[in-house]
Amino acid sequence: MKIVVVLVLIQACWRCAEAHPLDPLTPSELNLVRTIITNSYPTSSSSKLTFQHVALDEPDKPQILSWLSSKSRAPSLPPRRAFVIARFQKQSLEITVDLSTRSIISTRVYKGHGFPTLTFVEQGLVSQLPFSYEPFKDSLNKRALNMSQVVCAAFTVGWFEEEKTKRVVKVKCYYTNGTANLYARPLEGVAMVADLDDMRILSFSDRFGIPVPKAEGTEYRLSKLKPPFGPKLNGVNVTQSHGPGFTIDGHSVSWGNWKFHLGFDFQVGAIISLASIYDIEKQRYREVLYRGFISEVFVPYQDPTEEWYYTTYFDCGEYGFGQSASSLEPLTDCPPNAHFLDAFYADANGNPVQITNAFCIFEKHAGDIMWRHTEIAIPNQLITEVRADVSLVVRMVSTVGNYDYVIDWEFKPSGSIKFGVGLTGILGMKGGTYINTDQIKGEIDIHGTLLSDNTIGVYHDHFFTYYLDLDIDGQRNSFVKTTLQTQKVKDPKIPRKSYWTTVSETAKTEADGRVKLGLEAAELAVVNPNKKTKRGNKTGYRLLPGSVAHPLLVSDDYPQIRGAFSNYNVWVTPYNKSEKWAAGLFVDRSRGDDTLAVKSRKNREIENEDIVLWYTMGLHHVPSQEDYPVMPTLSVGFELRPTNFFEANPVLKAIVN
């Protein structure tokens, strides 16, 4: 009952929202955008208009900072504008709409390489084409498959040095007879190439001879599983006798010593902005993160055969991390004390689509320790001081095809921000002729792990590239790399032979800011060279990396050219409002000429400038049988941690009720 009261109180605050210039577009604003653009681009049977990406055209950074600084004087909001990518007459249009004047203020026909994000509407339409295509129906009959139990899906095809590229996808199909786990029953060898603009099949192939994997053992729905069940685990009842520790005003969140803004974008999902932390010694909030989000997720599969070589996905730019956000389930996706927020995006027709429970926000009581010490050295005394840890988590789940990504932003009272990614869902699987590894002889490479009869989990990578516009105590920051170097003891009177010390170097240009992690012991930090502690240290935040993986594809391989932003784990660039997409803005069938790696070649100055830290966390995934039929969550993450930001431990005096 206490939890119900808590939720009602939070929702009441949500209804009294104060407008914010970084708020995502509302349903009424999305409708207005659709009306304005459709009035300017009338459609016909030969001139179809589709909305590929509709988002807030965020105000320039100086406008936001000016608005914040004068907020106490009730300033007017910066102009509300929408940025739209549309397809019209087989061209990609970049349109900016002024919502206050209800007018289009700029339009540009995109002439570069690549195409916009695929919408759910067009993915659904193209996936239905096979069912009226006679060669495909013949293939189903040849396999004695019931067409009513076949499901098809669209897959991007990348770029492999074609001089001219059409907006096409591969359509592959699966058999659902006896299971909801369609990815475990692929119609291997059957594939179609389809044109998204014309909505027609261009080519068809059928390499008959590979059996459809069996349905037995593929089901994951609890209602369909059979005993024995286990392990049996007891749940926990979460109550907060003092009520929730956070407040939500519109999209602005306050908790403990933190405050920030939570936004939403069709392409990247969650956006955290204006994260500041209250310093009890200075008695004011201090800037940490101006804007952060996952810019791209690069997932290259490692099967070079005809049926799979093109399988190299860009989950944000090609499929839309926000569009793919799943509705979170209370009590399972999020704990009982969670509060849920909805999100909205525009579909291909420009109509608002509501994602119920797109986010959950909750205080995390995981039994962790904030800090502790037991002292026994003082005679006749036993001193034990412990503080229980509490943090605030913002969570969303993006389900891109077979994979579910659990995305967490965790704010800690110590000043740290922890970034978590949980990988779960269904593996990318292909059909095969093997039922036991003993059959795989000699030089045969199946490019994956045999998981079940005729079922192979294909090797692949995941590279998560975060955009982190850190403003540590202000905009002018520097990137400092501190290496740990071994030194020899020179004093012959000392029996010790060696020790390590630190050598710091401040990056002056973008080339200096590129880092491949794991090659040497190093500390990486963003500091404000203009602000120092009482001891003379520059205030800053350091990056504590997570899972380190480097690309294993050769640099001139076409997927790696498009995913060249993964060549380094860390990049540092000067802030530029237009540079926020690691793989470029038009990613589908792109050629890698608009990536972070290309933009960084300008080698601009980054010392004592407004800079952006790009961090790529990666992992190589060799599937195992435990990942089948559904994958237990594999968790990876990293941390931004204060380094000489505070004068002392900021949670020394923390009180946990």
Dihedral sign, Cα of residue 353, residue 356, residue 361, residue 364: negative
Question: Cβ(589)–Cβ(580) under 8 Å?
Answer: no
Catalytic residue, chosen from 319, 403, 558, 575, is 403
* Structure-token match 């071994």, residue found: 486
Nearest Cα neighbor of 605 from 573, 576, 579 is: 573
Catalytic, 315? Answer yes
The CA distances from residue 328 to 242, 331, 395, 424, 588, in Å, are 26, 9, 9, 14, 28
441 contact partners, CB below 8 Å, separation of at least 6: none
How many C-beta atoms surround the C-beta of residue 82 within 10 A? 22
Dihedral sign, Cα of residue 494, residue 497, residue 499, residue 505: positive
What string of DSSP letters covers 400-461?
Answer: ETTEEEEEEEEE-TTS-EEEEEEEEE---EEE-S-SSGGG--TT---SEEEEETTEEEEPEE
Task: Tell me how far apart the alpha carbons of residues 266 and 585 are, in angstroms, rounded to a whole number.
Answer: 13
Question: Cβ(123)–Cβ(153) under 8 Å?
Answer: yes
Catalytic, 403? Answer yes
Question: Cβ(342)–Cβ(358) under 8 Å?
Answer: yes
Question: Cβ(33)–Cβ(53) under 8 Å?
Answer: no
Provide the CA 321 distance to its chain's centre, in angstroms.
Answer: 7
Task: Tell me how far apart the alpha carbons of residues 140 and 212 are, in angstroms, rounded to a whole number.
Answer: 11
Task: Tell me how far apart the alpha carbons of residues 459 and 302 are, in angstroms, rounded to a whole number.
Answer: 5
* Number of helices and strands in the chain (H, E): 7, 32
For residues 568-598, one letter each, b for 16 or more C-beta atoms within 10 angstroms of the residue's C-beta and e for the rest, the string is bbbbbbebeeebbbbbbbbbbbbbbebbbbe
493: helix, strand or coil: coil
Tokens of 510: 């973008």
The CA distances from residue 81 to 29, 59, 60, 61, in Å, are 10, 8, 11, 14
What string of DSSP letters covers 187-204?
Answer: EEEEEEEEETTTTEEEEE
Task: Tell me how far apart the alpha carbons of residues 170 and 496 are, in angstroms, rounded to a whole number.
Answer: 64
Nearest Cα neighbor of 390 from 346, 434, 337 is: 337
In this structure, the dihedral spanned by the alpha carbons of residues 649, 535, 257 and 335, taken in order and rounded to 10 degrees, is -50
Residue 430 — φ and ψ, nearest 5°?
A: -125, 155
Nearest Cα neighbor of 598 from 620, 610, 581, 613 is: 581
Enter the DSSP assignment of 505: E
615 contact partners, CB below 8 Å, separation of at least 6: 465, 466, 468, 543, 545, 569, 570, 638
Enter the DSSP assignment of 315: I
Tokens of 286: 């201090």
**Which residues are paired to 635 by β-bridges?**
422
Catalytic residue, chosen from 23, 315, 461, 473, is 315
Query: In three state form, how does the secondary structure of 140-183 look?
Result: HHHCCCCHHHEEEEEECCCCCCCCCCCCEEEEEEEECCCCCCHH
Catalytic residue positions, numbered? 315, 403
